[in-house]
Chain A
C-alpha cells in the first residue's frame, strides 16, 4: 500500500465547462502528479477547522497559496498582503497537530512560510521593499530562476545534490525562522529552505518543486511517510 499524502487546498470561485464562478476546492494538478510520481497516494484536504483528517494520512504537503495573515506573527498587514483568513486558521491548526504527531511534512512556498510561523518565526511582507528587486516573482505566471546555496550536510543539500536550480514565485519571504534552521538561501541571502532537524521529516522550500515533479523532494517525503 502506498503512503497516503494529504495536500492542502485553495477555495476559489472557479469556472469550467458550463459552470461559472462556483466556489470550488482546488489544487493545481502539479502537486497531485508530483505526489503520484513519487509513489504516494494523494488526497486533497478541503479547508475545515479540524485535525480529524490526519488520522488517515502518512504525510502532508502544505501547498502554495495566498499570503498568511500577518497577525499570526504579530504584524499589521502591509499594502501588498493578500490573505485568506479561513485557510490560515485551518492550516495552522492542521500543521501544529501534524508536527505534534511527528508526521512528515513538506511545506512549499506559502507552506514553508506556514511552517515558519508555526515555529514562532516571522515573514517579510513584500520582498521588493526589502531587496529592491523582483527576481523572486518576475511577472504574473513567470517563475524566477535562481541557483540556491544549501548548507552542507543538511537534508536539502543531500536531496538536491549538484542541481541547485530553483523556480520561485513569491513576494513574501522568511525573516526569522523561529525554531527552524535555515538550510538554503538565494544569491541575495533570502532563506529558500528551512528544516527541523529534531523531527523525522520537516522541510520547507520557498520555491515550487511540484512544477518539475521533483522526485528528490516528493520522493523523500513519500519515503519518510512510508516508514
Chain B
C-alpha cells in the first residue's frame, strides 16, 4: 500500500554546509520528518514560474515557513523590518490558489499561513513589535520554547473557537512555540479560528468549505504535536483513494 504524496514548498536560497556556500533548493528536515512520521511521503516543491502543474501529482500540500511576503500584494508600503522572498511569493501564491481551487488538502505553517491569507485577499501586520510593543512572538533561533525549563519567550497559549475545524482537531486550548514577527491582520476569504489570548494575534485560519485547508502561525513540525500534519495526511489519503491501512506507521 503506497503512502499519500505530500508536496512541501521549499526555499531556494544561499546556504552554507560542509565547506560549501551555494544556492540550494532546501527545507529543514523537521518538516520532512513530520510528514513521514504521520504516514505521508514528502516531496519538495522548489519555487517555480509559471508552473502549478505539479499540483495534479500531489495528494496534499504543505506551505512551509520562511521569509516575509511582499506587502505590495495587499497594497501596503514595505516596513523596514520586512524581508521579502519574491521568488517564493510569486510561486507560492500561484500554487496556493491552484491548490485551493483543486480542493487539495492544504496546511500552511507560519509564512505558509500568511500565504494562505494573502492568496485569499487578506492582509498582514508587517511587524508585531510595532503593534504590541513586544517581540514575544519571536523566539530566539535555535531554541525550543516548549522545552522544560525554557523561558516563556517564544511560547504562548492559543485559544480555539468552539465549533471550528481547528477545535475539533486541537481542542479549545493549546500551548505553542512562536518564531514570527508578522501576523495575519485580515484573513480574507479564510476564517480566523484561533488566537493568542494575551494579545489577540491570529494563530489559526481555516476554510470550512474545503476538505482541509488550515493555517497555523506556530511551528508544529518542531514539536511532538503533529495533529495538523496527521489530519492533512488523512485527508490526502482519502483523496487518493487509499485506506486507513496506508497510514499504519
Contacts and interface: CB of A to CB of B under 8 A. Distances in A.
Contacts of B10: 44
Contacts of B44: 9, 25, 43-46
A30 B25 CA distance: 9
B3 A52 contact: yes
B2 to A, nearest CB: 4
B43 A29 contact: no
Nearest to B11: A16
B43 A6 contact: yes
B15 A14 contact: yes
Interface string A17-34: 011101111111111100
Contacts of B24: 14, 26-29
B26 interface: yes
Interface in B38-65: 41-46, 48, 51, 53-54, 56-58
A55 B2 contact: yes
Contact of B45 (A19, A31, A43): A43
Interface residues of A, number: 40
Given A18-B141, A25-B32, A36-B48, A140 B19 contact: yes
A205 B19 CA distance: 25
A15 B16 contact: yes
A12 interface: yes
Nearest to B29: A23
Contacts of A130: none
Contact of A29 (B5, B25, B36, B58): B25
A10 B17 CA distance: 11
A182 interface: no
Contacts of A25: 26-29, 32, 44
B46 A44 contact: yes
Of listed B28, B36, B46, B57, residue having the most chain A CB within 10 A: B46
Contacts of A24: 15, 17, 26-29
A4 B26 contact: no
A28 to B, nearest CB: 5
B148 interface: no
B27 to A, nearest CB: 5
A26 B26 contact: yes
B12 interface: yes
B182 to A, nearest CB: 15
A20 B26 contact: no
A75 interface: no
Interface of B: 2-3, 5, 7, 10-19, 22-30, 32, 36, 41-46, 48, 51, 53-54, 56-58, 141-142
29 contacts: A6-B43, A9-B44, A11-B29, A14-B26, A15-B17, A16-B16, A19-B141, A22-B30, A24-B17, A24-B27, A25-B26, A29-B23, A41-B53, A41-B54, A42-B25, A42-B46, A43-B7, A43-B46, A43-B54, A44-B46, A46-B32, A46-B36, A48-B36, A50-B3, A50-B41, A52-B5, A53-B43, A56-B43, A56-B57
